[in-house]
Amino acid sequence: MSHPNPVSPIDLHMHSLASDGTMTPTDLMQRVHAAGVRVMALTDHDNTAGLAEARVQAAALDIQLVPGVEVSSEWSSQGIHIVGLFIDPANNILQGGLSRIMAFRDWRALEIGRLLEGAGIPDAEAGARAMAGSRMVGRSHFSRWLVREGYCADGNEAFGKYLGRGCKAYVPSDWIPMTEAVGWINAAGGSAVLAHPGRYKLSGTRLRVLLTEFQDAGGIGLEVCSGSQAAGDREHLGRLARQLGMVGSVGSDFHGPDVGHAAIGHLPPLPDGVEPVWDRAGIHLH
C-alpha cells in the first residue's frame, strides 16, 4: 500500500504490546524514530503499563513522548474511544477508572471463551490470553488466535463471524459512559480527544449531538486526521472542529507492521484554521 503523505513529525495515537499492538514499547519507539516522527503519543487501550518503558526509549532516541491512553467508553449504546493526551499516568482517579475497565475486560474474555466453546471452539480464552503478551485481553487477541488456529482465514472473518456486534461470540459491551472517560482524563490533567470520529458511522446530526455532550463533559478535541478512518473524513472533521471551537489531533492508530494498513507518521497535516491540540501543551513544530 502506498502512502501519499510525507511523514508527519507528530503522531499522537499508537499501540504497543501493553494492549493490542504487536510490538514492545521499545521496538515501537525504535520504529517511530526510524520513521522520522519526533513527537509521539503511546495510547494503549485502557491502560498505561507501556509508558514507563516508552519513556526510557524516548530519552535515548530524543523523541518527545506524550503520555496517553485510549479509553473504551460508550455513548448511546455505541462503543466510543476517547484518547487522553498529556495525562499524568500516576493519577488515582484515572487509574481507578482504568482498572474497572480492565476488570470488565477480564470478565468479558471469559464470556467470549464460553461462547466460542459453545460454537465448537474450545480453549479460546487461554489462547487469546497467551497471545496477548500483557494483562490486556481484547477481541483483537481472540481474532489473531482464531486465525492462527485455522478457525478463520483472516481478521475480517473472525470479526464478521464471531467477534463483531451481534455475532456468535459477541458479548454486549458494557463500557463506562463517554462522559466518565472524559472526566478521568481531565482529572489526570489530560486533554480528551474523540478518537477516529469517522469510524462510528454516525449521521452528521448524531455526531454533532455526541460532540455537544463530549464538550459539555470537558472534551476538547477531535482526531481530524486518523489512520483508521477514511482519508476523505479529514475535510468535514476539520470544518466541524472549526465550527465547534475544538482542537484537532492527528494519529496513525498504528498497531504493528503486520496489523492493518496504518503506518507510523503517514498522516496529512491538520486542515488550515484547525488549532492543534499540542499547541496548548506548548509543543511547536516547524
The full length of the chain comes to 286
Q: Could you tell me where the DSSP H helices lie in the chain?
A: 25-35, 51-61, 92-118, 124-132, 139-148, 155-158, 178-187, 204-216, 233-244
Output the nine-digit C-alpha cell for 137: 485481553
Q: Which range touches Mn ion (CB under 5 A), out of 109-117, 125-133, 152-160, 251-259?
A: 251-259
Q: Which range touches ligand AMP (CB under 6 A), out of 48-56, 137-145, 184-192, 244-252?
A: 137-145
Question: Which residues 203-262 are close enough to bind ligand AMP by CB under 6 A?
Answer: none
Select from ligand AMP, Mn ion, none the partner in contact with residue 99, using the beta carbon and a kind-dependent cut-off of 5 to 8 Å. Answer: none
Position among 138, 238, 256, 269 found at the interface with ligand AMP (CB under 6 A):
138
Distance in Å, CB of 4 to Mn ion, minimum: 22
CA dist 264 and 14 (Å) reads: 8
Which of residues 243 and 261 has its CB atom nearest to Mn ion in the complex?
Answer: 261
3-state secondary structure of 192: strand
Which of residues 9 and 164 has its CB atom nearest to ligand AMP in the complex?
Answer: 164
The one-letter code for the residue type at 115 is L
What is the bridge-based pairing of β-strands 191-194 and 78-85?
Answer: antiparallel
Output the nine-digit C-alpha cell for 166: 451481534
Q: x/- contact string, 36-75, with ligand AMP (CB under 6 A)? A: ---------x--------------------------x---
Question: Which residues 83-142 are close enough to bind Mn ion by CB under 5 A?
Answer: none
Residue nearest to ligand AMP (CB): 138
155 binds ligand AMP (CB under 6 A): yes
Which residues face 74 on adjacent strands? 79, 177
